[in-house]
A and B are shown apart, each in its own frame.
Chain A
Amino acid sequence: TQLLEQSPQFLSIQEGENLTVYCNSSSVFSSLQWYRQEPGEGPVLLVTVVTGGEVKKLKRLTFQFGDARKDSSLHITAAQPGDTGLYLCAGYNQGGKLIFGQGTELSVKP
């Protein structure tokens, strides 16, 4: 069974701090996706990483795909209150289903 383990599950930081969220698996994924979910809304795709070692940037967010395509990380620089939300990593398993990590609830205090 392909599983995605996310850490940390909860993160509460002050505005301006940096943070990293990790998404790990013992299985290889052809690609991994990162979604962000705000309260009362559905998840919204932020990025898809496809190539091992790939780094993608989205403003203050940096996403990395591990060389072996078993893990990914999301780094946020100078976090702002607007970054508050639930961050989910996800990948398609061999059965074609999109499976999600447990999520990281980020709270950025002004």
Chain B
Amino acid sequence: DTAVSQTPKYLVTQMGNDKSIKCEQNLGHDTMYWYKQDSKKFLKIMFSYNNKELIINETVPNRFSPKSPDKAHLNLHINSLELGDSAVYFCASSRSASRGREQYFGPGTRLTVT
């Protein structure tokens, strides 16, 4: 009965590889997000989808490509991984895209690029 789930929990890969992280929410929310938390624990938004449409696209390298097949899923594909991509990536969801809404976060995916 997990609300927001992510797979995998840990991902260790070499530079240059392509990898994907999957996210699913069973809360019936229509807005989903990807965040990156760096080694200093700073959390920054990367992307947001509302009803499968991209509504927030921060200044993120185009090696990162989100995909939302339906309202309950938001995946993140990363091409040509670099050392600087090492971080914890969090998926989140909320009931709507309006401000003030509580966001529910997944447990995170710790990506290590060697």
Contacts and interface: CB of A to CB of B under 8 A. Distances in A.
Interface of A: 30-31, 33, 37, 40-45, 48, 50, 86, 88, 92, 95-100, 102-103, 105
B106 interface: yes
A42 B107 contact: yes
A102 B99 contact: no
B61 interface: no
Given A48-B100, A96-B97, A102 B4 contact: no
B102 A100 contact: no
A100 B44 CA distance: 7
Nearest to A102: B42
Contacts of B48: 97
Interface of B: 4, 33, 40-45, 48, 55-56, 58, 90, 92, 97-100, 102-108
Contacts of A41: 107-108
Contacts of B90: 42-43
Contacts of A30: 99-100
A42 B92 contact: yes
Given A43-B105, A97-B58, 8 more contacts: A41-B107, A42-B92, A45-B104, A86-B41, A97-B48, A100-B42, A100-B43, A103-B41
Sort A-B residue pairs by CB-CB distance and give the 5 closest, nearest first. Answer: A42-B105, A92-B99, A100-B43, A45-B102, A103-B41
A103 B42 CA distance: 7
